[in-house]
Chains A and B, each alone.
Chain A
């Protein structure tokens, strides 16, 4: 689709009116891009069938800037929800897709976003089966907000629950921390710095499903540490299970540029957002095999075991520093703010 066929350069309030202009936008961009038997019915909703338990997850995406190194808000909206469904031990199959567009958004930006949603959905094996487009006045949004809801069939071999976590379980991540958050940070107004840091935004559903098929109920938990980072997720887990969590600074995988950027900006990578990262908590006896399995996958090359569950310091996460000291890792409070000096 190129904008010449559309006859308009940017989205205006008329495109959210529900009238002919809305229809035009939907027909020429949305339906055309995402065409599938569900959407082609152009009904108010879609009817789908699942056998057995399903996992449902919803998320809204408001990232700014909407285009960043390594991705854009569109693919993020797919990966984020696909991954959330996958973390439940399910195989994501369908997505809903709702846009809130601020009037004035350039149509070629909108098309780029839609195309990258399509590509991310195809790569994740999901179909867009229902959606919505609203347009708000200038100043009442930030270019574009996207909400997606994902639906997936739970893998019958999965038994994902914090209830299964026990003392001695190992904590594994599939790659470098803090890539997404630092990629965004490097492009924020006023904070820009030169780097080639790219967002890690990607779909994790196939790797997660392969792990469940291979290791079944020995895998006790999956979580994706998006906003709030690894620290916040682990703190939540420690509180939920009322056991302690130990993590080891030396074992935490960090890409050099990200580590350096965090140093310069005074940010702690444990609290920075990720979009292609999962934490899995597994039975200690399979930890080495799990690690090997993940490292064999393209999305897990930099995987590492970063800690374990302990009966000490219940409800708390303790980090062993590289010099042998200890500190409590608390959940993130508010937004992580750059330090003065």
Chain B
């Protein structure tokens, strides 16, 4: 726990808050990419401690939030056809077009909540007469374990295991945000866990092309305020480069073993993002050699397409154009018991984070 308590230190955090205050001369919009960072900012009350000139914009880095509606419908279709569907926990309450995975479970579907996709391979082994599908969502962070599950299944000769892939990548999403005509982002806090896997070499061209500071940042309070300080310092000095605040976990070249596993199983391909639409080369798809592990092909469900809920502005939230409380549905019509869209479900979702932890009227 030492690595945690040290990074939750009041004095050190205060010091960086004061540094931000001393350095900043004008208003800057800083986007934290990762939902874990949004969660950390709100849970620790950091948004209230930052000077007004720092505006944090919440990015698209919540894996649950960006998984398109039709993928959830596909998973439900599988459940309703007797397939054992295994999923990470916070995916199961996200509403599909008709119901959530949790509701499909209540209707008799065999849904298993897991921490590790390797466990899903074990379930496939134990149930040779059943089909088992792992709902492989997430950014680069979850890709190595998901890829590894496929390698394990192949090694074991399992024919009843496949994955429903919805893997997305951070750099193309950043680029899509920067290319948006409404974009007002001045700097990024890069997603620490994603970079722990991938490193940050691919961010240099982004910082250069868009003249934007990118600070790879961790998740604890001290990480976050230090990351914000480094971003502000760059902005005030008109510098735009990649910096690594999270050096205790992130190396420039990333985790080579993890990257190798990803490369064996996945290749970069087009991906649809919830509320944003299709972004070219923005995700992972299974390579030809591993097509037999593609649940969409195996069960012929590639054609399930459903429109997003028009009342939900998740797309604008995820692109940082609007904040959750600027949505007309926020809190009243849409809340964690009755979510219209994914950002209200996941604890990393910007809407849920605002709903749970933040109420500016009360806290000020």
How long is the Cα–Cα vector from A335 to B278 in the complex, in angstroms? 32
| B-side interface size class | 35 or more
Contact B89 A323 (CB under 8 A): no
Q: Which A residues touch B221, using CB under 8 A?
A: 321-323, 325
Question: Would you call B23 an interface residue if the criterion is a C-beta within 8 Å of the partner chain's C-beta atoms?
Answer: no
Cα of A323 to Cα of B359 in the assembled complex, Å: 18
At the interface, yes or no: B237 with Cβ under 8 Å from chain A? no
A334, CB-defined interface residue at 8 Å: yes
B297 interface residue (CB < 8 Å to A): no
Q: Are A327 and B358 in contact (CB under 8 A)?
A: yes
Q: In the bound complex, do residue A338 and residue B45 qualify as a contact, i.e. CB atoms below 8 Å apart?
A: no
Closest to B91 in A: A340
CA distance A313 to B362 in the complex (A): 6
Residue total for A at the interface (Cβ-Cβ under 8 A): 29
B117 to chain A, nearest CB (A): 10
Binds B, one of A106-114, A162-170, A222-230, A256-264: A256-264
Q: Are A191 and B359 in contact (CB under 8 A)?
A: no
Do B13 and A324 touch (CB < 8 A)? Answer: yes
CB neighbours of B178 from chain A (8 A): none
Contact across chains for B89 and A338 when beta carbons are under 8 A apart: yes
Contacts of B89 in A (CB 8 A): 337-340
Q: In the bound complex, what is the Cα–Cα distance between A325 and B40 (angstroms)?
A: 11
Distance between Cα atoms of A190 and B134 in the complex (Å): 12
**Stretch of B3-11, B182-190, B246-254 contacting A (4+ beta carbons < 8 Å):** B3-11
Q: Are B362 and A323 in contact (CB under 8 A)?
A: no
A328 within 8 A of B: yes
- List, in ascending order, chain A residues with CB within 8 A of B357's CB: 327-328, 330
What separation, in Å, do the CA atoms of A221 and B221 have in the docked complex? Answer: 35
**Cβ B90 vs Cβ A340 within 8 A:** yes
Q: Mark B107-120, 1 if CB is under 8 A from A, else 0.
A: 00000111110010
Question: Within 8 Å CB of A263, what residues of B?
Answer: 1, 4
Point out the residues of chain B lying under 8 angstroms from A325, CB to CB. Answer: 44-46, 48-49, 221
B45–A266 CB distance below 8 A: no
Of the candidates B43, B114, B362, which one forms a contact with A191 in the assembled complex, judged by CB atoms under 8 Å apart? B114
Q: Assess whether B115 is in contact with A338, with CB atoms less than 8 Å apart.
A: yes
What separation, in Å, do the CA atoms of A327 and B363 have in the docked complex? 7
Q: Which residue of B lies closest to A319 (CB)?
A: B45
Q: Pick the residue among A265, A266, A324, A330 that contacts B356 (CB under 8 A).
A: A330
Check if B88 sits within 8 Å of A340, measured CB to CB: yes
- State whether A328 touches B356 (Cβ < 8 A): yes
Give the CA-CA distance A318 to B357 in the complex, in Å: 9
B347 within 8 A of A: yes
Please name 7 pairs of A and B residues whose Cβ atoms are closer than 8 Å in the assembled complex, sorted by A. Answer: A191-B113, A256-B1, A265-B115, A320-B45, A323-B49, A324-B45, A328-B362
Beyond A191-B114, A323-B221, A338-B88: 6 further Cβ-contacts under 8 Å? A190-B114, A190-B123, A320-B45, A337-B347, A339-B88, A339-B348
Measuring CB to CB, which residues of chain A are less than 8 angstroms from any residue of chain B?
189-191, 256, 259-260, 263, 265-266, 313, 316, 318, 320-328, 330, 333-334, 337-341
